[in-house]
Amino acid sequence: MRSVIQVSGVRKTYGKTIAVDEVSFDVHDGEIFGLIGPNGAGKTTTMECIEGLRTPDRGSISVLGLDPFRQVYKLQDRIGVQLQQAQLQKRIKVWEAVDLWATLYKKKSTDGERLLEQLGLIDKRNAWFMNLSGGQKQRLFIALALINDPEVVFLDELTTGLDPQSRRAIWDLVRGIRERGKTVFLTTHLMEEAERLCNRVAIIEHGRIIDIDTPESLVSRHCPERTVVLATDNPLAEERLRSIPGMESVTRSDSRFTIRGRGDDLVTEVIHCLSENHIRVSDFRTILPNLEDVFLKLTGHSIRE
């Protein structure tokens, strides 16, 4: 698979603080790649080095075959950028911003009006920036990031501060960007966002990359534990459940059993055991680990701390 971003051995310090260190990864053509970690882990610094907004102290970066530091203007023509905590002029109108951005790029830009329509902003085209809601502002920033029909789109903490409904709407938009064949590089501290959107994620903490993989592989490699909770009145159930291969513990409270074990086969084995012994259940749930658990396992603390 073709790499569109190659980062190797990047280090960036601010005074005595090391923001990122020995950061290396590749982003493949057409994927959504997520850099995930808590606030202050070095996500934005890494992203801004790739965008050419900051110069790394050490290491090399290549984006679409270009050096972001020396060929920044060439690069900016081919990428789309959404920055964390960016603002526009308070009294600029939505269509004016889109129109201005469209003039800035050498490439023939996409149709601004259509973009506003797709992003649900067409009713707001004459509104001042200062009067937009948080979600509308973010959608406008997405529009500005897409106006030059970029090959790579950078999204920094895109849904921070948005309500769940706007967040879901934005996720759909990001999937739409990938469907147009573009590569998306995003940062987030929301594990759910990474799990739902990203093809691959890199976990970063204290400026270092801890692991890179698909969300599923990260979960199955670092958190193989599986848990099944079921409820049954069958008196033989406990004995039968204890004989399941891969089972590590069975705990019981009244008619409710919690079966813990390892490996993807555990759930199948439980179902097999239930049907073979004709055990009737009134409830059946699986509890699967997610990226939050992976993060906890790798760093020893929750991402929210």
Partner 1 sequence: MMLRGLWKLTWLEIKIFMREPMGAVGAILIPVLVFLGAGRIVGGRLPPPTFAASNFIHVGLPVLASLLIAINAVISLVTIISIYREGGILKRLRATPLRPQTILTAHVIVKLLLTAATLALMVLAGKRYYPVGVHAPLFSFTIALLISTWSILSIGFLIASIVPTARFAQLIGGFVMYPMLGFSGLFVPLAALPPVLHAVAQALPLTYAVALLQGIWTGDPWSAHVGDIAALALVFVVCTALSTKVFRWE
How far apart, in whole angstroms, are the C-alpha atoms of residue 297 and residue 54? 32
Residue 105 lies near partner 1 (rule: CB under 8 A) = yes
Binding mask 113-152 for partner 1 (x = CB under 8 A): ---------------x------------------------
The single residue among 18, 92, 122, 212 that binds partner 1, judged by CB under 8 A, is 92
Provide the 8-state DSSP code for 131. G
Q: What are the tokens at 237?
A: 């159930």
DSSP E strand stretches across 64-199: 79-82, 152-156, 183-188
37 close to 23: Cβ distance less than 8 angstroms: no
- CB of 48 vs partner 1, minimal distance in Å: 9
- With respect to partner 1, which residue has the nearer C-beta, 48 or 195? 48
Contacts of 156 (CB under 8 A, 6+ apart): 43, 44, 47, 82, 83, 84, 186, 187
DSSP E strand stretches across the chain: 3-14, 17-28, 32-36, 58-63, 79-82, 152-156, 183-188, 200-205, 208-213, 225-231, 247-253, 256-262, 283-287
The single residue among 24, 29, 83, 206 that binds partner 1, judged by CB under 8 A, is 83
The single residue among 2, 15, 73, 235 that binds partner 1, judged by CB under 8 A, is 73
Q: Residue 85: what residue type?
A: Q
Residue 244 lies near partner 1 (rule: CB under 8 A) = no
**Number of residues in contact with partner 1, rule: CB under 8 A?**
24
The single residue among 8, 39, 60, 89 that binds partner 1, judged by CB under 8 A, is 89
The stretch among 55-63, 92-100, 187-195, 275-283 that binds partner 1 (CB under 8 A) is 92-100
Helix (H, G, I), strand (E, B), or coil: what is residue 281?
Answer: coil
Residue 81 lies near partner 1 (rule: CB under 8 A) = yes
The single residue among 91, 114, 301, 304 that binds partner 1, judged by CB under 8 A, is 91
The stretch among 78-86, 179-187, 211-219, 278-286 that binds partner 1 (CB under 8 A) is 78-86
- With respect to partner 1, which residue has the nearer C-beta, 76 or 232? 76
Burial 195-208 (b: 16+ CB within 10 A, else e): bebbebbbbbbebe
Residue 221 lies near partner 1 (rule: CB under 8 A) = no
How far apart, in whole angstroms, are the C-alpha atoms of residue 26 and residue 24? 7
- Residues in a beta bridge with 286: 228
The single residue among 22, 99, 149, 211 that binds partner 1, judged by CB under 8 A, is 99
- CB of 152 vs partner 1, minimal distance in Å: 13
- With respect to partner 1, which residue has the nearer C-beta, 86 or 236? 86
- CB of 83 vs partner 1, minimal distance in Å: 6
How far apart, in whole angstroms, are the C-alpha atoms of residue 162 and residue 167? 6
- CB of 73 vs partner 1, minimal distance in Å: 5
- CB of 35 vs partner 1, minimal distance in Å: 17
Contacts of 45 (CB under 8 A, 6+ apart): 12, 19, 20, 54, 207
Instruction: List phi, psi (to 5°) of 272.
Output: -55, -50
- With respect to partner 1, which residue has the nearer C-beta, 100 or 162? 100
Q: Is 205 left (phi over 0), alpha (psi -120 to 50) or beta?
A: beta
- With respect to partner 1, which residue has the nearer C-beta, 91 or 168? 91
Residues within the interface to partner 1 (CB under 8 A): 51, 53, 73, 76-77, 81, 83, 85-92, 96, 99-101, 103-106, 128
